[in-house]
Amino acid sequence: MERKTIFSIVFAAGLVWFFIAIPTTPLDPRVQASAPGTGPGPSGPQIMSPITYQNLTIFPVVSAENADTSGFATLDEALASGDVLVSEQGNFLDRTRDGRTPPGFSTGPQVNQLVLINRGKRAVLLLAGEVVSGGKQDRIIAKDRIVPVGRTPLPLDVFCVEHGRWTGASDQFSEANLMVHPSVREEAAIEQDQRQVWAAVRGEAKSVGSPAGVAGTAAAPRISPEALSAAMAGTGTQSYQKIYRSSSIGASVETVADEIGRRFDRATSALKDEHVVGVVVAFGDEVAWSDIFASAELFSAYWPKLLRSYVVEAMTRPGVRQTASLEEAHDFLRPMTGHIEEESEPGIYLWRKHSLGRLSETELTALAPKPLTLHDLRVLRGEGRGLTLR
């Protein structure tokens, strides 16, 4: 009996020592992101805890690596400085000595093609969905690409977001500092379809219905298709910029964007050895979008107009109480396989699109001065999406 008592005491003491001696590690609020083009090691991007406001959730993506992207200018920056000139075709182009139009161009304005000249000292980065304002009508960039330094006129593929107007005092375009919201940007970047771009600008959905468990609990969208149409119908045309100029819509967008921006800044202000290089975005409980860049500088340049585009998208979707989790954001960035399309300008850039089910991803890689993935976009396409507009 005495031996059993001694054994029990020794065993209990051993258990106490075991739990005290083993160090405990607090849970890190981040999840390793296996973003394409980056390995699963400690230097790869990580996803921070989410910032949620109403039905919009944004997960900051941070990385210990911060590539040198100083050799690239954004489109807005280059237009504002005059380093880039964008114009309608036809009136701008100089003819060759024998009177022929340069190859790849038309003699007159074209809805889906402009001309761009890079007169600066840096290559220019273009992202699908960026708005350029002016000309016969406002346009958006059709596809991510890089325009190298040089004065040779470049045929630039675009989509129209202003259905109805085909007049203008000038053939020139200026920076709009706008990115179309994801439903529209998806049609340009992924689907490459002008009719679907117009439909998305009008707020027309690809699908109907509510996800399981949400029917009867979702509040009406704060921007309805009717509100979008009304905001853009003032002069008989459909200009995307009118969404932001409308007193009933624009003020709400700015209010929400300012609040999320403040929360985002607070959440990322304590970073020391890491840099914010992108975001993963969820609408309601659906992780549907991500924009990730090669550097914090590029992300910062695009962040203001990206944020407002996410806010517009959230306001066109039903308000639900469910929110996406950190693990779901991580799953969204897992490496994907599937059908691959490629487009390249030798020595300049490589554009690649992966498609698997509803998930699509585009990567833009600069090939000079050395290979570097400047922008990675991942999209949960809207076909069959539960939280789309009716």
Strand order in the sheet with 173-179: 84-88, 113-118, 150-160, 139-141, 130-134, 173-179
Domain assignment of residue 145, yes or no? yes
Q: Which domain holds residue 372?
A: 24-94+104-211+218-380
For 77-108, what is each residue's pLDDT tens digit?
Answer: 999 999 999 999 876 554 444 455 555 555 55
Position 1 in a domain: no
Q: Does any domain span residue 7? A: no
Phi-psi region of 99 (alpha: psi -120 to 50; beta: other; left: phi over 0): left
Q: Is residue 354, in this structure, part of any structural domain at all?
A: yes
Over residues 361-377, the pLDDT tens digits come to 999 999 999 999 999 99
CA distances from 315 to 228, 248, 254, 353 (A): 11, 12, 12, 28
Rounded Cα distance between 167 and 247, Å, is 25
For the chain, the domain total comes to 1
Residue 320 lies in a domain: yes
**Is residue 378 predicted with pLDDT exceeding 50?**
yes
The string of pLDDT tens digits covering residues 185-221 is 999 999 999 989 888 887 775 543 344 444 446 787 8
Compute the radius of gyration of the chain from its Cα atoms. 25
Residue 328 maps to a domain: yes
In a domain, 88, yes or no: yes
DSSP output for 299-364: HHHHHHHHHHHHHHHHHTS-B-S----HHHHHHHTS---SEEEEEEETTTEEEEEEEETTEEEEEE
Tell me the per-residue pLDDT of 11-35, one tens digit each, with 9 for 90 and over: 444 443 433 333 332 333 445 554 4
My answer on whether omega of the bond before 42 falls inside 30° of 0, hence cis, is: no
Residue 11 lies in a domain: no
